[in-house]
Amino acid sequence: MALLPFPAVIEGVIAELRWGCYTAAGIHGYRLSWKRTARQWSLSATVVLADAFKIAQRPLVFDAAVRDAQWEFDVQSFDLAGLHGPLTARLGLPRTRRR
């Protein structure tokens, strides 16, 4: 995927944070933002349930269906108080595959 020359926002409902093939956290409601000046993606989301052990492992991947593709972003850093509630994260560039 080419880097976007303009700010962009993608919103969705269902997604997850994964550690390998395991679901570390279930997400209901998210917002992805591309910051052109910082050249990075950021995530704001609501975690509905997380596994304490799996969410502490690395590497984590944010995984979401966007239209007819599956998007995966490496999680560079994140902030989550507890095992549910608001989540903010810095993400790497996306990898996409057709569903």
Going by the DSSP 8-state scheme, the letter that residue 2 receives in this structure is P
**Beta 22-35 vs 69-80: how paired, if at all?**
unpaired
Overall domain count for the chain: 1
Say if 70 falls within a structural domain: yes
Say if 1 falls within a structural domain: no
Say if 88 falls within a structural domain: yes
Q: For each of the chain's 99 residues, which pLDDT tens digit applies?
A: 456 666 789 999 999 999 999 999 999 999 999 988 888 999 999 999 999 999 999 999 999 988 889 999 999 999 999 899 999 999 999 999 887
Say if 4 falls within a structural domain: no
Say if 43 falls within a structural domain: yes
Say if 56 falls within a structural domain: yes
Instruction: Report pLDDT for 61.
Output: 98
Say if 57 falls within a structural domain: yes
What is d(CA 30, CA 16) in angstroms, rounded to the nearest whole number?
10
Task: Look at phi and psi of residue 48 and say left if phi exceeds 0, alpha if psi is from -120 to 50, else beta.
Answer: alpha
Say if 2 falls within a structural domain: no
> Phi then psi for 56, rounded to 5 degrees?
-85, -10
Q: What residue spans of 1-99 are helical by DSSP H?
A: 52-55
Domain that holds residue 86: 10-98
